[in-house]
Structure 1
């Protein structure tokens, strides 16, 4: 979550400095400020890219761990079911339940991840 906040804040800072560059420094022909702002934006975007990379890596590991735990519990439950359960069901029914479980996992993770990031972006937009 911290990397999401950093990523969002750096994105907002980028837009603020681009606005300063376009609205103030270029019309005033402040060449030194334009150069410094360009260098600063380069470093800002580099840091934002690194934060985005580490954020994605963290989300991948988190999603993998959550999926492993959920699937382990789900499969453990399926293996504990009596043989009669499998005899009365078609193979497609069991496969459909497994696929539904995976879709639910993906939806929950997507909603959680995007809600946090989008919430921070909206909050930052109101502040700036």
Structure 2
């Protein structure tokens, strides 16, 4: 995610975030691929940065590989000192949340990953989350 505090020349709004599956009713029988956000976003041609907060959900395998990469890095990084057992609990948390994403109370990948990072920073959160 780009968070540098620099100014860039942006285009007029013209970029749409790719479509994702949206559940249209509570019993999950009606599903349709559509844009989760209909707004157009600006982008910086020089760098490719896109303005806007929406990042589309990834396929489960892709998302869980990303979680594994982040958690494994935290385990190996000297400054973080995350235990392997705690790392496995974080991966389990992410997998369960991703598998339950279609639940009406499910969370998008971005929110799941944000919680993964919070758990790396404060592993006691896992207990509060039931993991």
Fold similarity call, TM over 0.5: no
Larger radius of gyration: 1
Q: Which has the higher helix share?
A: 1
Q: Which has the higher strand share?
A: 2
TM-score by length of 2: 0.28
Which structure has more relative contact order (CA 8 Å, sep 6+)? It is 1
